[in-house]
Chains A and B, each alone.
Chain A
């Protein structure tokens, strides 16, 4: 099979590419799924590119949206070359290269319902229809969510039965191989009542470039717990977009953490829906931006039920001429009384030429609500550096320790020791690489 090219979205991608893109036989899947992909493809072609006037793209450099020349590699890609830093113990492990499943590197024990898309469709069929739709977050990237869905050839579907608790996390690895490779990772987590699961997803490169447009959907039924972390260590020349939707039912708890340590450009959108009374959502992020990198993050904490709780902490560390953008909204709907919602973005500037943009927001339509939002941007205080230096620690090392500490404070919130250790190590390595 030949490789297919993704044309510039400015000139809508040639529709002829589509039948080649999904690597499976549509005849074997439910009709609604094939229809959803075709509709997504139409939507991608139809929807306009974001413009400067678009509030959801304020401060963003739209040149990053030029997606010419990326390739959907329909042939089986090479096995992972890099020695991967993975968890010692994973309940299950999926490894994909350019979207192709790597059986030899994966580990899929029985007893846990972790499935690839075709199996999931075969077993769950129409029950997946509600989630297997374009992963639109309403935060600006409908066009690219449509592209993701249209190109979807595989996915990881994690269905945890009622009351089941997994001791170890489920680990998903997506590797990009080749400078023009495109990958469309999709993770769906369905936790039934009182189930408990942790998921660690890695996005890595075996080369400098590539494009990743991914999505995660975390659906937590009554009293269940989902901890999800995405570690982006893609190559500096790559582009990454990721769309997450969290839906928390009654008394459910979902923690969604993003660690942007790679990719030249990253756009993340995360929408948390507090659907059930007493539900909890925590959204955390650490981004380390250097050189001319841009990290653009948009969030929504949507309180739809009474007595729900949400907390958001996004931290950015900026080197060189890097840029970050944070736009977040807490929305408390009518009837969502007794909501507790917090949102904080903190930017640490480590150069004179970097730029951090923060747009925190609140929209409250209910009573008896406790909400706060805010953003801080600053350099390391001289008095902090003085304290370190007065103990004999050189200024450069002091800066590194303080910046790493700033980031590790968020790592410590992941709430799963093995994941904290692995991600903490990745953060250390990224700082060491920066020479700061």
Chain B
């Protein structure tokens, strides 16, 4: 059981951004992708979620054997894929609770109403874990949230939707140390043999709090090196140049 990305080529317009990316994320593991700006990290996350600006020219992505790229965006989510956005959208007028309710309702058979009591019980438990005030249930999705609150809200959504595979796109950016710790605790609480997590990050700092099983280095649309957690430390010390030049 794994998320299996094989020789993925992706373009935006005429420009190729992913140039044959291959990566296996087995269930039960946490992987990290690090790499310099413009290496294609965010493109990877958006392509997996199904963003229409990107064209997959070749390659495959299988999620537990299912062709992820053949599914419409909403079906990918319901099949168990999750993307924590680098820049979460603000949705005026739609409360956080209604947003999550709609997402969970979409997972139920048509006509089956959601159990509101169980929903709020679960929601409050997850919010407590992320140290989010109850007032966030009634507030419009991400509207007027601080950077850290938005990222916490992404992890709250992940906790409520319980995906099989989650990609966290620079969830650490813009977080102060306290927020980083809370968000990391939230992610660590979701580590499970039933779930694969892929962290996309610039900084080794996040990996002090969420220990990855594997670290991949991405440059120019490909994975150029993979290793254990110690690879992140080496990157922190030496930068990316020694790798990109060698490649």
User: A residues touching B (Cβ–Cβ < 8 Å)?
Assistant: 382-384, 386-395, 397, 401-402, 404-409
Contacts and interface: CB of A to CB of B under 8 A. Distances in A.
Nearest to B98: A401
A391 B93 contact: no
Contacts of A383: 89
A391 B161 contact: yes
Given A389-B50, A392-B74, A394-B74, A406 B93 contact: yes
Interface string B11-49: 000000000000000000000000000000000000001
A389 B91 CA distance: 13
A391 B74 CA distance: 6
Contacts of A387: 85, 88-89, 91
16 contacts: A383-B89, A386-B52, A386-B73, A387-B85, A391-B77, A392-B77, A393-B102, A394-B106, A397-B102, A397-B106, A401-B99, A404-B94, A405-B93, A406-B93, A409-B92, A409-B93
A388 B92 CA distance: 13
Contacts of B93: 402, 404-409
A98 B93 CA distance: 36
Contact of B49 (A390, A402, A408): A390
Interface in B64-82: 72-78
A379 to B, nearest CB: 15
B5 to A, nearest CB: 18
Contacts of B219: none
Contact of B91 (A384, A394, A407): A384
Main secondary structure of the interface of A (DSSP, over half): helix
A96 to B, nearest CB: 33
Contacts, number: 73
B10 to A, nearest CB: 16
Contacts of A382: 52
B89 A393 contact: no
A382 B107 CA distance: 22
A382 B50 CA distance: 13
B78 A392 contact: yes
Interface of B: 49-52, 72-78, 83, 85, 88-89, 91-94, 98-99, 102-103, 106-107, 140, 157, 161
The CB with the most chain B CB atoms within 10 A, among A390, A404, A407, is that of A390
Contacts of B102: 388, 391, 393, 397, 401
A383 B76 CA distance: 17
Given A387-B91, A401-B102, 4 more contacts: A388-B102, A389-B72, A391-B74, A408-B93
Given A382-B52, A401-B98, A393 B106 contact: yes
B70 to A, nearest CB: 15
Given A386-B51, A401-B98, A391 B91 contact: no
A395 B52 CA distance: 13
Nearest to A390: B49
A374 to B, nearest CB: 16
B77 A389 contact: yes
B92 A406 contact: yes
Contacts of A404: 93-94
Nearest to B85: A387
A381 to B, nearest CB: 8
A408 B98 CA distance: 13
Given A397-B102, A405-B94, A392 B89 contact: no
- Top 6 A-B pairs ranked by shortest CB distance? A405-B93, A392-B77, A405-B94, A389-B73, A387-B89, A391-B103
Given A390-B77, A391-B157, A392-B77, A402 B94 contact: yes
Contacts of B91: 384, 387-388, 402, 405
A397 B92 CA distance: 16
Contacts of A405: 91-94, 140
B140 A393 contact: no
Contacts of A402: 91, 93-94
A395 B85 contact: no
Contacts of B88: 387
Contacts of B89: 383-384, 387
B94 A392 contact: no
A397 B49 CA distance: 18
B106 A392 contact: yes
Contact of A390 (B73, B94, B98, B107): B73
B175 to A, nearest CB: 20
Contacts of A384: 89, 91
Contacts of A394: 74, 106
A407 B73 CA distance: 26
A406 to B, nearest CB: 5
B74 A395 contact: yes
Contacts of A395: 74
A392 B161 contact: yes
Contacts of B94: 401-402, 404-405
Contacts of B157: 391
B160 to A, nearest CB: 9
Contacts of A389: 50, 72-74, 77
Contacts of B103: 391-393
